Amino acid sequence: MTNLEKKRVVVTGLGAVTPIGNNLAEYWEGLLTGRNGIGPITLFDPSRHACRIAGEVKGFNPHDYMDRKEAKRMDRFAQFAVAASKEAIADAQFVINELNAEQVGVIIGTGVGGLKVLEDQQEVYLTRGPDRCSPFMIPMMIANMAAGLVAIHTGAKGPNSCTVSACASGAHGVGDAFRLVQRGYAQAMVCGGTEAAVTPLSVAGFASARALSTRNDDPKHACRPFDRDRDGFVMGEGAGILLLEELEHALSRGARIYAEVVGYGMTCDAYHMTSPVPGGEGAIRAMQLAMKDADLVPEQVSYINAHGTSTPVNDPTETAAIKKVLGDYAYKVAVSSTKSMTGHLLGGSGGIESVAAVMAVADDQIPPTINLENPDPECDLDYVPNQSRQQTVEVVLSNSFGFGGHNVTLAFRKYRPE
């Protein structure tokens, strides 16, 4: 398919459930004011754990989005996805009906799916026997159920799938949805990522891998990307959802357009289960592919929403990759990690960070990297420390890198009629 045959794809709706706000307005305001969503774990008793902090979603009531019976049959990760998807569709003033349902699809990524249900049912199995396990265990647990339930709740009958690529899952969801609309397989796509993995087994596993911060006595300063005193990431939970729409369809109904999706790059390190390849070769190629897809040169990039996990290895590796891709211009580009406020949502991170990237374009404001007090000498770019910045934002790159060597870069730009 030639470039002339590719359809333009725009973002017309956004939804968010996050540790710093349970809707788009609260989330964006929280990012711009540097609100910190990290605190002591309350979802379970963490007293035996090395890590006892996380970015939990607070005050979320699933009954605001579904009836009690439906909520009872959904894991938390699926509840988040349904809530954020309904918000994104309403935000776009988009109506799914019998006439267009087959042209509206859903792709929602998640890293681990219904882990809480799995852990709870394992306990039931061990203490009460196999016959007492819930008949809803499997449909509540499986990773694709967020996408399936969003379709059930909204009536979207078009392309539907689930991306599972660890911390790149949500970004893969957005990128794959972009391709489907761009190539004419759907008129609109509900897409993004969701996760609810703040569970005893998950926290124990990541802690055993020495991936998590153990700054339990100071949770507000635990997540500190690009800071020399960082000691690991902080787990978060939530969902970020975008409604992507084919441009002509959006214009025909007078839709508000937040931004245009213009590039998608994905690669694999093929190097190690958990560590990025030294020098960031896979991340470099993902950024280069996204920029080539979008026909961008370095001087057009205004802002990079970094993967920025606050781990000893990721932050300098990503910094080196950005320098390689942008050359000397890297020092003139704003780079920030919103994980400093939300924690790391694993498979949901690419979703909420895509929402942040789109809002930066729409609002001409760049969220800060909070807790950046003592910069790592290897991390010497402009990380927008501690305070948001107002400036014209034409193009944003959003990076997501996952265990297994998965790398994704998405490119968003201001919508300009041609």
Could you tell me whether strands 406-413 and 9-17 are parallel, antiparallel, or unpaired per DSSP bridges?
A: unpaired
Contact 368, 30 (CB under 8 A): no
Contact 356, 338 (CB under 8 A): yes
Contact 43, 115 (CB under 8 A): no
Alpha carbons 303 and 399: distance in angstroms, whole number: 11
Cα atoms in the Cβ-side hemisphere of radius 13 Å centred on 164: 12
Alpha carbons 395 and 389: distance in angstroms, whole number: 15
Please tell me which residue in 51, 344, 379, 406 is annotated as part of the active site. 344
Residue among 196, 182, 230, 194 at smallest CA distance from 115: 196
Please tell me which residue in 153, 172, 249, 307 is annotated as part of the active site. 307
Active site residue 307: yes
Active site residue 379: no
Active site residue 63: no
Please tell me which residue in 167, 191, 223, 379 is annotated as part of the active site. 167
Q: Going by C-beta distance under 8 Å and a sequence separation of 6 or more, which residues neighbour residue 261? A: 9, 10, 11, 174, 178, 244, 410, 411, 412
Alpha carbons 397 and 389: distance in angstroms, whole number: 17
Q: Which residues are catalytic?
A: 167, 307, 344
